Amino acid sequence: MSCGGEGESQRVPFSLHMLLFVWLLFAFCCLGLADVSVSGCNKAAVIFVFGDSNSDTGGLTSGLGFPINIPNGRTFFHRSTGRLSDGRLVIDLLCQSLNTNFLTPYLDALSGSTFTNGANFAVVGSSTLPKYVPFSLNIQVMQFQHFKARSLELVTAGTKNMINDEGFRDALYLIDIGQNDLADSFSKNLSYPQVIKKIPTVITEIENAIKSLYNEGGRKFWLHNTGPFGCLPKLIALSQKKDLDSLGCLSSYNSAARLFNEALNHLSQKLRIQLKDATLVYVDIYAIKYDLITNATKYGFSNPLMVCCGYGGPPYNFDVRVTCGQPGYQVCDEGSQYVSWDGIHFTEAANTWIASKILSTAYSTPRIPFSFFCRH
């Protein structure tokens, strides 16, 4: 190039500048794509959660002042946060996959949160029935309606950093409830036919909740079915009739869970037709958890029916008189080897495995990524 004439020597810097410009533009775009690919989102994620203790990030403690003591929270938070686990819940891990903050409980007035990324209405012990009791599903929906109305009032008044109407419309509405309706029915000594007879009413309450949220402008829904609660150590230990399957789980409980899930799946199919401009993803949590319990050793866990934090030793290490965090409890040294944390709830290690399966979309119908709602 240095041997060229004057005209060529003038063109070279121009071409180099153009090449540099194109390269920098390409590099900038790649960096932008890299940032998006980390979370799968290119706008702020807003999530609203409705459910029970599987998703409660502190609502029971905030709403009722109910103490949830250490060792709950010891693994990740190193303190009790109101979560019933040694660390993060599945919803926490799903939020982290989007690079958004953990969801603040709606009832946590002392958090100082402006709830810019949504709110968590799930509370320990919640069910769909009976209605109008703290904190049944329809009460959680009513709390959301109040939350939305107040948020939009503040936005109209000029308050910054609040969720606006577009934020509510583009948000994800995650519903994970029903386990307590079934499990509590068995604990009250209802017969198997009596428990099954309640399923349509529970499904109707979930349908009503989704339609109420739809009428509020929600268009993106994420629906978890219920897990194999017949494999929860607490329920096995307390059951009077131990109709155990080959895994040591309660057959009738899991059968009820499967029938409930069939009805819930049918509901999701119906709503996709009725709510034509909505997206509803149905996630088979039962299949994920049953696989984990069935193949626990394969996935690096020990006995999936043995509790990490409890009392009493084998086979379940669960005693209803000495539960996790209460005087006399015993806790395992290494929670990462356990599936069950306290007899009902899972360890952070198990939750991490479950969240990874949810994010894989292999258990979702339709197979839509969890991040779909925060994409343009």
Catalytically active residues are: 53, 342, 345
Contacts of 53 by beta carbon, 8 Å cutoff, 6+ apart: 60, 84, 122, 123, 124, 125, 126, 344, 345
Q: Tell me the residue type at 175.
A: I
For 354, the token pair is 């479950």
195 and 182 Cβ atoms separated by less than 8 Å? yes
Measured from the Cβ of residue 287, the count of other Cβ atoms closer than 10 Å reads 16
Rounded Cα distance, 309 and 302, in Å: 14
Quick one: how far is CA 250 from the chain centroid? 25
Pair 227, 183: CB distance under 8 Å: no
| DSSP for 156-223, written as a single string | HTT-SS---HHHHHH-EEEEE--HHHHHHHHHTT--HHHHHHHHHHHHHHHHHHHHHHHHTT--EEEE
What is the rounded CA–CA span in Å between residue 366 and residue 279? 9
Closest CA to 314 of 257, 369, 236: 236
Cβ of 29: how many Cβ atoms within 10 Å? Answer: 10
